[in-house]
Structure 1
Amino acid sequence: MSNHLAIATVTATLQRLLQSAIQGDVEGARVTTVRPDAIGTATPETGVNLYLYHVPTNFIWGNSAEIQRRNRQGLAANKARTALDMHYMISFYGNDAELEPQRLLGSVIRTLTDRSSISTDMIADTLADSNLGYLTESTLTNQVEQVSFQPLNLTIEDLSKIWSVFFQTAYNLSLAYKASVVMIEGEEVGSKPLPMGDRFGGVGAFVNQPTVTDVMHQDGRFVPIEAESRIIIRGTNLKEKDVFVRIGDAETRAENIEKNQIKLSLSSFPQELLKAGIQELQVIHRFPFRTEIGNNGNNNEESENDPIEKFRNVKSNVIPFVLRPTIIDASLDDLIDIGKGLRNATLIIEINWDVKPQQKVILALNEWSREEAKSYLFEVDSFEQDTRIIFFPVKEVKAGNYLIRLQIDGAESKLERDTDPGSSTYGLFMRPMLSIE
């Protein structure tokens, strides 16, 4: 989930997104985040003003306190969450004789149509901006629910009321957008009272229960986590004698443990139990104890009545992170030239983990070209059992060389750049690539 910096991070990311778009459409235009009554005094002559004027509770998530306290699998969460929508008034100003406000309006609408949600990479770029150092500790990248944008269909009367009541200033050409949803997690561990009949049964929380606050690649928060990655788990009360880490159905013993940090490699997990997509990680302290069942009088042999060693598990909260798939191989079958430089084919992709039938799998093809590069999205046909080999029917694809990405439940495979400084393609994405002739 996201911490208290989530709201500001969404605004800053949206500002950077719009700035990169409008500066190429209207020379000298800038995106500001001041109050609308400051337009003309604290702003450039031409630009777009982004103002957050209303933050209501999200209708779907906020309608039930119980939903707020559950994770993706329906298990009770340890910390309370508040789900919010963010309503923005986007105003446009400039030289009306040259229709600058209207040109800026069109630029913003086009941008938010093409980029209707905030990706993890966009958030990472925002947090890496040296001018936004006050957002460095933001954890918006950990939020499972993606923040998306959609226009608010306000009437002239609605706009008039907002400008006259909230802003009390002259009206500028404007439109409103909603960002949804931002999940802000509290810091206090949640609790729920026992039923009346159980309140005096001596049940209580473990004093040294582990708590996990963050999962990240050891090389940095914005480095993607893959099959062979080494990860860092941060939290409190993590160090004990027997510590295990569970990801989904896979479990491994943790060796490199400090009081508030665990380091381990994902290669230590049974790979057949891992899958791409949103994963749920949990730290477990395992304490052995012996149950005294009795003895049958035979001192030489063990029997079913001898003491039995069992284990008591003390579990941390569950925290999500994204595990990216890796493309092992890609090939073509049934390639057909359908004319006009277009091809039909079956693209066969092998990945490093099994894909489950219920998972959503999307293929992205981006032509490796500097001129009018084509891009395509294809969704896999349904399959009935776990598989590592996926067949995509691709149709009406322009002949050429294509970078390949796979998205499984929103977890995207990694593209590799050319790292040779002497190469003419240094710094460009080069792999994995497939030629469709």
Structure 2
Amino acid sequence: MSNSLAIAAVTTTLRGILFQGVQAELGSGSVTTRPLDKARGNNDGNQINLFLYHTALSGTWRNMDMPYQTKPGEIGPVPLALELYYLVTAYGENDNDIKSHRLLGRAMSALHSRPVLSKGDIETATRPDALDSDLFGSDLHRQMEHVRIGLLKLSFDEMSQIWRPFQVQYRISAAYQVSIVLIEGDAPAKTPMPVLKRGSEDRGAVATASLPPSLLQVVLPNGKPSAELGDILILRGDRLEDANLVVRFRNVLSDRDIELTPLPSSTAGELRVQLPAATNTAAIAPWSSGIYTLSGVVRHPQMPVVTTNELPVALAPTIVQISPITAPRGNVTLTLACVPPIQSTQRVTLLWGDREILAESLTPALTFQIRDAQPGQYVIRLRVDRVDSLPIDFATRPLQFDSNQTVTIT
């Protein structure tokens, strides 16, 4: 592991390696770590400059846990995995190019002979009595992954792009990539408690010799776009013949589950389930108009519950009463009754021609105020939680509007 001092520790360690490698050639010169526009300054002696010009995230380590610090099943902090990019530039005494080339060659040779920063190199550069003693706590030497040095093959144009922003004269240089530096995050790891038993009866995994049932399609009667109370839904799929299979309906807004037993005519590839009749007040009490997901649920004694995939189905409201069905032009107060019953949390609107009108009240009856109603016959629809009532008689061919779903304005 390493902490936020790791970048400075790498730079310091590289500077130490360069100084040791070029000391004989450097003489009374120095190894600096300055930006390119300030590297030379007033110095006219031998000089090696090590410039950190770029840092980048490592794609390999970006989503990995800190190595050897988390166990399977634990959620540890993702380390900040960095690749560091350095530029090594040599300056000869009195700007002697031959001398600078000799220095650059020595520097490249020193880094080539140390392709990996060893624990000893890092500890030597960051020990308490070193020049940068404040880096002693970097812990870079404890990092399990090696810190490797690699010479980059940059074109002249790429190298020029590094120098151009500093507006200084270009000098021959060598670019290096140093990776990987793993900086540990401050967030604590989340460690789950040990497992005391596997399942409710500590039986562990349960093996079965067959695939679970699956659903492929929901078919509504007469090609309806939405189901209505009393409809028989046909569910097609595979391995649906299990006698213990029930159909679970889940309202996507309320997460309320309702389970129905399929009709006896079910087969391996098809089962039928009937929604409760609109006249059965007790049976329709848990239902509300809206979008549902349905799935098959199989329960066997001494076995875990098996659930199929889910398919969507919409349950439309059914208008059972309209008052008045005939009214004079102008402002009209329209009262409706529908099934399933409207819940207080539902959004209810009336579709009147090309207008959508929000309900004035939900209890004790649905009430809508229609402003400036013009003469004509209007087919009305009730929209509850994005699902519209069906004003069409789907049992007739060709299709016709249901005469019981119209209001006449005289």
Normalised to the residue count of structure 2, the TM-score between the two structures is 0.43
The structure where strand makes up a greater share of residues is 1
Larger radius of gyration: 2
